[in-house]
Structures are given as structure tokens and as C-alpha cells.
Amino acid sequence: MKRIAFSVLALGVVTSAFAQTTFRLKVENLGPQPLSPVFWSAGNSSFDIFSLGGTASQGIKDIAEGGNTTAMLAIASAAGSNISSYGVLAGGPVMPGQYRMGTFTTTSSHGYFSFASMLGMTNDGFVGEGVSSMGLSLFSGSTPQGFSVVIRGSRAWDAGTELNTQSSADVPAFGGSGNPADSTSAIRVHETIIPNVGDRWEQMPDWEQSTELARISVEPVPEPATMSALLIGLLALKKRKKQNNA
């Protein structure tokens, strides 16, 4: 009876450890455009950072126009129980060929992963995914699973907040302030760099729909308590097997 009770206790520790999971996040810049510091979040289905065809929030506007995450962090902070973890990956902008990494903790009830980052040499272009776009899931049921996705040019977004003038006066990467409003005002697929428009179009790295721009990878990290519990459970089973064979 004591051996059976011990095995049940070990199993209980494993189950509770998986209720909250630590994940490792890696963002790689695969494409020609620099990426601004990456905002990320883990929340439930009610926390959707943008909707295709919709109007950009102040958070998305600021990220897409200048890589500023302050407003988006404030939106996440105000989301209350709809969000469990959020932040900005440390290390600053992600240049082509570079990557940034971090860790976060969440539960299956907050299993949607979202992110946003400016395509750094555009007027208001960005890469990102939310609940209503790709709907990146961190769990299968209650089991942590993670994912790895490549973002191509077909999923490069125009925030619809500013005209794509491609002019030094309007592109932050060239010292511009980013003022002219876009009358369309809808988040949509970016038309890429427009030849012969503005005075900077030749210095703005272009892409095609098939161009790989970024890879987003999230994987669960085994907790020390979980690993210890599994080891204890295995040792207990091994010991019981030896005793039964004696």
C-alpha cells in the first residue's frame, strides 16, 4: 500500500506542474527588412492585438510606424484576466541574420500567442499575428506543444495608418516623422516597396510574397519540479518492479 500511495503522490506533482508552463521564445530575422523590438503576449481568445480589415489600435499604429511598444504594453497591462504574460524581447532591433530569445510562463487557459514588430524600413509595415489572424496556439488541450512558423511576405501587413510615401520626411529609419495619414485606414497585406515612389525607395529593402521574413519558434521548457517528479516516479516504479520480481 505504501508503494502505491507514493506513486500516486508523484503523479500528482507532475500534473500540477503542467498547469503552468514555461516556454522559450525565439524570433529570427530571415529577411531583408530590419525588425523593431518584438512585442509578444500570451492570452485568451479575447485578447486580439489586431484584426485584418480592421483599424489599428494605438499600440499597432506606434509599432508599425516607429517600432514604439509603449502603447501596446499599456494595452496589455489593461487587459486584466484576458492576458497572463507579455513583454518586449530584450536586445533591441533584430537585424537580418540575427535573433532574439526570451522565456515566459502561461497556462492552457491563456494559450494564444501574439506578437508584433515593425518592418523597420517602411512607413507603416509590420509583421505580427493575433488570435483572429493565425491564432497561434501554445497548447493542445491542456498539453503544452509550442510551434515554429515562418512568416513570409504574404503575411507582411500594412497598418493602414500612414501613406506609403517612401520619403525621407516620413520614414523613421531615415529621420522622418511619419505624418501623412492613409485614407484606407485598414490593416491589410502590404504592397511591398513601390518603385519610383519617394526619395528613399531604392534604400528600402524589398520583398515578395514568398520571401521569408521571420521565424517565430516557441517551445515548452520542462520545469525542474516536473523533471524531479518524473525521476522519482520512475525510480519508484523500478523499485517496485524489482521487489515484485524478488
Cross-strand bridge partners of residue 41: 86, 114
Q: What is the pLDDT of residue 243?
A: 60
Q: What is the pLDDT of residue 15?
A: 35
Q: In whole angstroms, what is the distance from residue 98 CA to residue 34 CA?
A: 9
Sign of CA dihedral 33, 39, 44, 48: negative
- Hey, what's the cell of 60? 499597432
Mean pLDDT of the chain: 89
> Does residue 147 register a pLDDT over 70?
yes
Residue pair 44/82 in contact (Cβ under 8 Å)? The answer is yes
> Does residue 133 register a pLDDT over 50?
yes
> Does residue 166 register a pLDDT over 90?
yes
For the chain, the domains span: 2-245
> Does residue 241 register a pLDDT over 80?
no
Mean pLDDT in residue range 176-194: 94
Mean pLDDT in residue range 39-54: 98
Higher pLDDT, 135 or 16: 135
Q: What is the pLDDT of residue 239?
A: 59
Q: What is the pLDDT of residue 76?
A: 98
Residue pair 65/143 in contact (Cβ under 8 Å)? The answer is no
pLDDT band at residue 233 under the 50/70/90 scheme: low
Enter the pTM of the model. 0.84
pLDDT band at residue 10 under the 50/70/90 scheme: very low
DSSP 34-80: -BPPPEEEEE-TT--S--TTSPPPHHHHHHHHH---HHHHHHHHTTG
What pLDDT, in 10s, does the model give residues 52-95?
Answer: 999 999 999 999 999 999 999 999 999 999 999 999 999 999 99
DSSP 162-205: S-----TTT-GGGT----PPPSS---EE---PPTT-SSSGGGS-
Higher pLDDT, 13 or 71: 71
> Does residue 196 register a pLDDT over 80?
yes
Question: What CATH architecture does domain 2-245 belong to?
Answer: Sandwich (2.60)
- Hey, what's the cell of 106? 502561461
pLDDT band at residue 2 under the 50/70/90 scheme: very low
Residue pair 104/22 in contact (Cβ under 8 Å)? The answer is yes
pLDDT band at residue 179 under the 50/70/90 scheme: confident
